[in-house]
A and B are shown apart, each in its own frame.
Chain A
Amino acid sequence: MPNLTINGRNMSVEAAGDTPLLWVIREQLQMTGTKFGCGAGLCGACTIHLNGEAVRSCQTSVTEAVGKKITTIEGLSAKGDHPLQKAWIVEQVPQCGYCQSGQIMQAAALLSRNSNPTRDEVVAHMDGNLCRCMTYSRIQKAIMRAASEMRTASNAGTERRPT
């Protein structure tokens, strides 16, 4: 039985090694925030983090995930208050909401390494994530808002810290 580390917890799962991680997370562990959209890596609804990188969990096998740090939308922040989640609420991004876990996880990977992306960088990074309700402009706005807040927070943090 493979052992997986999901959202900081070690979990033993009953699944063949070639099982897509998506189905283990959703149906076996019942963490249903990660969504199934296409099963082919074409829509981004199933995006999670593997060692901090955004990956499509429908295209990632259990074997590939063993020994790596898996993060899902449920584990992105302690109280649903990641700057992106807060910005998603301020900008009232979701319509049906089904793609939004994947959108947020995809965006979080970008902001973790670049908290000052240009609009073009955001589009290039997010283009693999479909939103059938077409909330794209609000997604962009929310990412820019979150990036700005993360920069402010980290600047404030620096100022407070005596060096």
Chain B
Amino acid sequence: MNSHVKITSRGPADLSRRSFLVGSAATGLVLGYAAVPGLDQAFAAPSNFEPSTWYSIAPDGIVTVTCGKADMGQHIASTMAQMVAEELGANWKDMRVQLASNDPKFNDPVLGAQITGGSWSTMMNFDAMSRAGAAGRIALTDAAAAAMGVPAAELVVRDSVISHPKSKKSMSFADIVKSGKATKTFTPDELKAIKLKTPDQYTLIGVSVPQLDIPSKTNGTAKYGIDVMLPGMVYGRVVTPPVRFGATVKSVDDSAAKKVPGFIKTVVLDDKTGSTSGWVVAVANNYASAKKAADALNIAYDNGPNAKLSSESLLSEAKRLQALDDSGQFFVKDGDTAAAFGTATKVMEAEYTTNINIHAPLEPMNAAAEFKGDILHIYSGNQFATRTGQIAAGAAGIDPKYVVMHQMWLGGGFGRRLDADMMIPAVQAAKAVGKPVKIIYSRENDMTMDYSRPLTYQKVKAGLDADGKLIALNHDVVSAWPTARWGIPDFLTPSVDKKGPLDSFTVNGADFFYTVPNHQVRAIKNEMAHNATPSGQLRSVAPGWTFWAVESMIDEIAHASGKDPALFRIELLDGKGKNDGGAQRLRNTLLAAMGLAGYGTGKLPKGEGMGVACVSSQERASASWTACVAHVAVAPSGEVKVKKLTVATDVGMQVHPDNIRAQVEGAALWGLSLAMYEKATLKDGGIEQTNFDTYTPLRMSQMPEVAVNVIANGDKPTGVGEPAVTVIAPALGNAIFNACGARLRALPITAEAVKAGMKA
């Protein structure tokens, strides 16, 4: 499915593919990259011929930045504006943001598509937004120089004003735009040659400016997908089958639904995109009636091939696959682990598991669809507009170029809104009733039909030499493959054993920065889980489970060889070979966290312990170096109280220090929530948890003290939304071991497991 979606490039930003235009229009100055013809044809929506735009300056001086990223609370729209404003020389008070449509001209300059994830946005847009801002400043300065009759080199740009200190002349951006004289254009080479500011010249980057979206989120005016209202719009309520995937509708009796006032129609979805199975929509003229009608439907299902499956069956299938020598593909294959295990004086093995986890953003999935002439308009908050437009087209049976997606603020994303299932009922119901339809999932729909974080099973085997040195590590990762499900070849990674592509979003993190001479990582697709629980990318994706295994096992090895686990890590982070650079940064971050937490500086009371973990999430090539010292107190009952999480993270450069702290704290608490409070289970092919009474994310009363410490060493900015998620679970597990001797190998951690571990 979806093989028609193609991502053009995942390579580094190649600005030569694009030309930069600065032109003046009657309504204002429009600045942006125009795609070279042909570049974007893979996603093309040629019905749109508006000029490509990252930002515009209106005659009143207001600068409006169009954000091509989904803003789900990471304030990326505001951050884009901040990067533009720095080089443009604009006053922050003049900055505004708007959200882009799915027009390919708003594609990510590095990724070549509209997709938001991976903690990539700031790092991949920093250069493009900076150059866009700088080009605008140069164009405005040239125009001002001509108007004032002074050399451009003598002008100073600050706070949206261009001044000439010698003559005391000045012009505001508004004056220049109104004059219509800013017309300079840039060739790709000129654009590339622009000398950007050096960090010591920054006046906005590194400053915690007020986030532009926040006021609207305190007074109810921010518009999310669920808030969309279209003239003549009616409502659809989804009825989903008892199994997560694979059901078909045998028959629908809507005789009772027809008696509900306002009922319009029952629509059985015919989904050729493979996003949904066995879904029915009750359409009515208001949501309450749609719900009543949906409740009154009598639907007979064939529950399909997954109807007998449970979490237990997925786990035993994972174990079966892992035991096969020829299953899976290699992600890492350094040295010869088999030979090294032969010479090892000590061999250790351990199994680590994680359960199914549900995104559960607080805004349930929703979408509104409207056919207007030839164009299908879809309204939603979505993280992958490029693919979502294609899915909506697939649901409508039309060419994707006729789909326009109107991006809204996202009431939480966390990876859930990379998917497009909500488009199917919206589009097909709108088509069936000939009116705009808004679909709002019930919380029960949202939870039981989540593209969840998959159940994972990992087996790690370690070999130590006589000195207790780690000489060999085999790491097998068995899971559903969330990214393979998209059917986009460019998002897959070639295996090192040339057995075809693998989903690196199931093994990222396992390619750590420790120096282990013989190291192999095998990615094994659990086809049964893949089919029964179509999985998605949940905040932090693979490192959320790979580091649970790696960082727990490293601790186990350290204890087995009688070494302090933190110091053992520092020895392994020697920066040799391919680990040079990254290993040292991670080592320094770990040392910082240790120092800030007072690790090893005093004796803790009985039943308390500190544990460490350090990670290079998200991907090896895009790591934010993150370490955590967790401090816990364990009661004899096995009850764990998290006293404090001390997190340090090396992010290279801080664009917005306060936002980084907010994101890292949120990520750390997500890590805690996944480690201790969130668990979903599959039974009879269906997800058992349906609402927040049984699926229970962390609440305020469960929040420990979190100390976030940011290291900014002047390197390129890295991502901050996800990495801290991944460091918490292993730090907690290691702290619990140090507190009471119980070694945890399954997430979430339960009091029962801790108590059982203490007895063992």
Q: List residues of chain A with CB under 8 Å of any chain B CB.
A: 15-16, 19-20, 23-24, 26-28, 30-40, 42-43, 45, 72-74, 80, 85, 88-89, 92-101, 104, 123-124, 126-127, 129-140
Contacts and interface: CB of A to CB of B under 8 A. Distances in A.
B686 interface: no
Contact of B73 (A16, A35, A133, A137): A133
A136 B699 CA distance: 8
Interface string B392-416: 0000000000000000011111100
B697 A130 contact: yes
B296 to A, nearest CB: 14
Nearest to A125: B700
Contacts of B226: 32, 35-36
14 contacts: A19-B288, A23-B287, A33-B219, A33-B221, A38-B691, A72-B220, A80-B215, A92-B659, A94-B214, A97-B222, A134-B665, A134-B670, A136-B703, A140-B700
Nearest to B71: A96
Most buried by A among B214, B360, B413, B440: B214
Nearest to A32: B227
A31 B229 CA distance: 11
A28 B220 contact: no
Given A37-B362, A42-B691, A97 B217 contact: yes
Nearest to A30: B229
Given A33-B221, A95-B74, A133 B288 contact: no
Q: Which 8 A-B pairs have the closest CB atoms?
A: A33-B220, A97-B217, A98-B411, A95-B73, A96-B73, A80-B219, A134-B669, A32-B227
A93 B217 CA distance: 9
A134 B667 CA distance: 8
Contacts of A93: 214, 218
A139 B699 CA distance: 12
Given A28-B286, A94-B73, A99 B673 contact: no
B491 interface: no
Contacts of A45: 362
Given A94-B73, A130-B697, A31 B658 contact: no
A52 B704 CA distance: 31
**Chain A binding surface, main DSSP class:** loop
B628 interface: no
Contacts of A15: 286, 288
Nearest to A120: B701
A132 B412 contact: yes
Interface string B374-392: 0000000000000000000
Contacts of A139: 700
Contacts of B202: none
B360 A123 contact: no
B218 A100 contact: yes
A124 B210 CA distance: 30
Nearest to A101: B220
Contact of B220 (A23, A32, A134): A32
B563 interface: no
Contacts of B73: 94-97, 133
A104 B261 CA distance: 35
B689 to A, nearest CB: 12
B644 to A, nearest CB: 13
Interface string B176-218: 0000000000000000000000000000000010110111111
Interface in B611-628: none
B293 interface: no
Given A94-B73, A95-B73, A132-B697, A35 B443 contact: no
B213 A42 contact: no
A96 B219 contact: no
B72 interface: yes
Interface in B119-168: none
Contacts of B215: 80, 89
Interface of B is mostly: loop
B683 interface: no
Nearest to B229: A30
A65 to B, nearest CB: 14
A73 B364 contact: no
Interface residues of B, number: 60
Given A15-B286, A43-B692, 10 more contacts: A19-B288, A72-B220, A85-B219, A92-B214, A94-B218, A95-B662, A96-B413, A130-B699, A133-B73, A133-B666
A94 B658 CA distance: 12
A97 B409 contact: yes
A98 B693 contact: no
B701 A135 contact: no
B362 A35 contact: yes
B481 interface: no
A49 to B, nearest CB: 13
A97 to B, nearest CB: 3
Contacts of A98: 224, 361-363, 411-412
A130 B670 contact: no
A8 to B, nearest CB: 16
B217 A94 contact: yes
B220 A40 contact: no
Given A36-B226, A38-B691, A42-B691, A85 B218 contact: yes
A35 to B, nearest CB: 7
Contact of B692 (A27, A42, A134): A42
A100 B414 contact: no
Contacts of A123: 700-701
B240 to A, nearest CB: 15
B75 interface: yes
A95 B288 contact: no
Contact of B364 (A26, A36, A137): A36
B698 interface: yes
Contacts of B235: 27
Most A CB contacts (10 A, CB to CB) among B216, B226, B692 go to B692
Contacts of A88: 214, 218
Contacts of A134: 665-666, 669-670, 673, 698, 703
B706 interface: yes
Contacts of B223: 32
Output the residue of B218, B223, B662, B665 with the most chain A CB within 10 A: B218
A89 B700 contact: no
A86 B362 CA distance: 23
A97 B213 contact: yes
Q: Which of B360, B697, B700 has the most CB of A within 10 A?
A: B700
A37 B693 CA distance: 13
A134 B645 CA distance: 15
Contact of A74 (B72, B219, B229, B662): B219
Nearest to A19: B288
Contacts of B52: none
Contact of B219 (A26, A39, A73, A95): A73
B666 A135 contact: yes
A135 to B, nearest CB: 7
Contact of B287 (A27, A33, A138): A27
Contact of A40 (B72, B218, B414, B691): B691
Contacts of A132: 360-362, 412, 414, 697
A20 B110 CA distance: 47
A115 B34 CA distance: 55
B361 A137 contact: no
A43 to B, nearest CB: 5
B579 interface: no
Contacts of B440: 36
